[in-house]
Structure 1
Amino acid sequence: MYQVIEMYGDNEPWWFFEGWKDDIIDSHQFNNLADALLFYNRKLLELKSTHEIHKEHVGYLNAFWDHDDDRWCEECEDFLQQYFGLLLLKDGQVINLISNDNAPGLIANSKKYRCCKINYENNAQ
């Protein structure tokens, strides 16, 4: 099963920090890759046309943002950039385009990045 997921939140969608699913604003299920790609590409063009900046990672992971779309975080005492995310997943996993069998793979991330202190403290528990 393939999923096209739209997200909105403080982090670019490829980080998959704990609680990343809380940022999902819409999700669509497809039985085959062709239908999923058709929908994904349509959403990709739509988001590219409505946002200033677009960054894409391998595996159908996209972030879109505008410089003036941020929110104030009391705990961080800073403005946090807000991102729209568009992901194409297979069975809830990142599609690994590098492997020969095109099997899904997870992106593992052990580095610590600057993020909202509330989210970081909640995730550390």
Structure 2
Amino acid sequence: MHEIVYTRADYEPWWMFDDWKEKIVSLQQFSSDEEAQRYLEEQKQAFSLQFANHEKRDLAFDAYWNEEEMEYCEKCEEDLQIFHSLIWLVDGVPKISF
């Protein structure tokens, strides 16, 4: 099973901290690699139009952000950058290669 996950968090997706599943905005499931890749490319195009910055790690992780989108963290007493991320999972594990 292939899943394309959209998260919104104050950290990049490749960290996959314990609470990462709580940051899920949407999740789409696909039965084939081709379907997942097609959907992911569509989402990446849309995110590229919406966000000024982008960083990619492996095949599994794409992080997008606008520098002005910050949220205050009371616990750490500072503003933190917000990242909108796409994660490609295969059977629950990040897809790092073809």
Rounded to whole Å, the distance in 1 between the matches of 2:5 and 2:81 is 20
**Higher strand proportion (structure 1 or 2):** 2
Residue identity opposite 1:84 in structure 2: H
1:87 offset after TM fit, Å?
1.1
Three-state SS of the structure 2 residue aligned to 1:14 is helix
CA contact (8 A) 2:5 2:28 kept: yes
- In the TM superposition, structure 1's runs of 4+ consecutive aligned residues that sit over 3 Å from their partners are none
Select the structure of larger CA radius of gyration: 1
| Unaligned ranges ≥5, structure 1 | 103-125
Structure 2 partner of 1:117: none
Rounded to whole Å, the distance in 1 between the matches of 2:96 and 2:13 is 16
Rounded to whole Å, the distance in 2 between the matches of 1:92 and 1:59 is 14
Q: TM-score normalized by structure 1?
A: 0.76
Cα RMSD over matched residues? 0.9
Q: TM-score normalized by structure 2?
A: 0.95
Q: Can you list the C-alpha shifts for 1:47-96, whole angstroms capped at 9, x where unaligned? A: 01110100000122000000110011122110011000001110110113
Instruction: Provide the identity percentage.
Output: 27
| Unaligned ranges ≥5, structure 2 | none
Three-state SS of the structure 2 residue aligned to 1:88 is strand
Q: State the structure with bigger RCO (CA 8 A, min sep 6), 1 or 2.
A: 2
Rounded to whole Å, the distance in 2 between the matches of 1:74 and 1:19 is 17
Q: Can you list the C-alpha shifts for 1:7-62, whole angstroms capped at 9, x where unaligned? A: 00111011011111110000000000011111000000000111010000012200
Rounded to whole Å, the distance in 1 between the matches of 2:96 and 2:78 is 35
